[in-house]
Amino acid sequence: MSFKQLLQTIHAGVNANSALFSSLALSVVFSGGVGASSTETANSNNTTATTSSSVCPDWLNENLRRLHSTEDVNLCKAFAGKPLLIVNTASHCGFTYQFSDLETLHQRYKDKGLTVIGFASNDFRQEAGSEAKVASICYENYGVTFTMISPTSVKGTNAHPVFKKLAAQTQAPSWNFTKFLVSSDGTQITRFDSSTAPDSPQMISAIEALL
């Protein structure tokens, strides 16, 4: 082999190796980039999940059946990070008209974050005889669109854990339409009795302070 042919062979080998090295380098960079992106996405998802969990206290992590429905709602999953107005309701009570006021609050503040949740209850023996009738009074008579929960015990030893917590922090409901305003992180609970209208100045002031 002549010296010229030797140089050509070496040059061809270098070019081939350069192409191989470039291909390998590109593959490594590409794989590394995808791996980093996937890791960052996973970390981001984990952070989001942790954040959502951290802003919702354990006592609100409850699956509850919606009124006259087979569908459940988890308070943490559905309303984490939002202030709540929790109310024990009844269909045949002197305060039943407050359904309308609660719906007005819901419409006024829902886009600002407030979530109104009504718990149908017969603890004071003023609820309708069937769940279908309870739903009819809420949805048809008063046009309720906020979340309503199926009949639930709200006081005494049989009280639902949510209401046991509310009672421990403040006081158990003493009558229908007791209202509990809960801060978005669940640490601040303000109780309003039945006679306090949902649109009263003190309730409006307390709600707006949380939004």
The residues assigned a catalytic role are: 93
First to last CA, the chain: 87
Task: Fill in the amino acid letter for 186.
Answer: G
Compute the distance between CA of residue 115 and CA of residue 196 in angstroms, rounded to an integer. 18
For 12, the token pair is 């061809």
Compute the distance between CA of residue 171 and CA of residue 50 in angstroms, rounded to an integer. 31
Compute the distance between CA of residue 152 and CA of residue 97 in angstroms, rounded to an integer. 20
For 159, the token pair is 């009280």
List residues bridging with 74 in a β-sheet.
63
Q: Is 147 helix (H, G, I), strand (E, B) or coil?
A: strand
